[in-house]
Amino acid sequence: MKENVPIDWLTHPTTVEIQESLHTYNGVVFGCCNAEWCELLSKMKPTDRLWEYDSRTWRHRCGRCGVALVRDGRIIDSFITKMN
C-alpha cells in the first residue's frame, strides 16, 4: 500500500537487505505484499536510498510506518509495513 509520506516522518536510513530480513514470511519477502515491494525496488536508481518512516500518531489510532524510497532529498515512493 502506498501513501504520501511527509519528509519529516523519515526516521533513519535502511537497506533492502535489512528490510527483507525483517519482513520475510514463509520464505516470501513481504508475504502477500511481495509484488508491491518488488515494484518499489524496480524504481530504485543507484544513488537512491531507502529510509524507514513513522507517522508518530499511534496513540490517535492512525499510526503507520514503512519504507520510503528517497531520491535527491525527495520521497519518490513508499511502502507501508505497519498501520493501525
pLDDT tens, 18-71?
Answer: 999 999 999 999 999 999 999 999 999 999 999 999 998 777 777 889 999 999
DSSP H or E stretch at residue 18: helix 16-22
How many angstroms separate the CA atoms of 63 and 57, rounded?
Answer: 5
Q: Give the start-to-end residue ranges of the domains of the chain.
A: 7-83
Is pLDDT above 90 for 3?
no
pTM confidence score: 0.88
Cβ-contact 65, 12 below 8 angstroms? no
Residue 2 pLDDT grade (very low, low, confident, very high; cuts 50, 70, 90):
low
Q: How confident is the model at residue 10 (pLDDT cuts 50, 70, 90)?
A: very high
| pLDDT in the model for residue 63 | 86
Tell me which residue of 41, 23, 40 sits closest to 32, measured CA to CA: 23
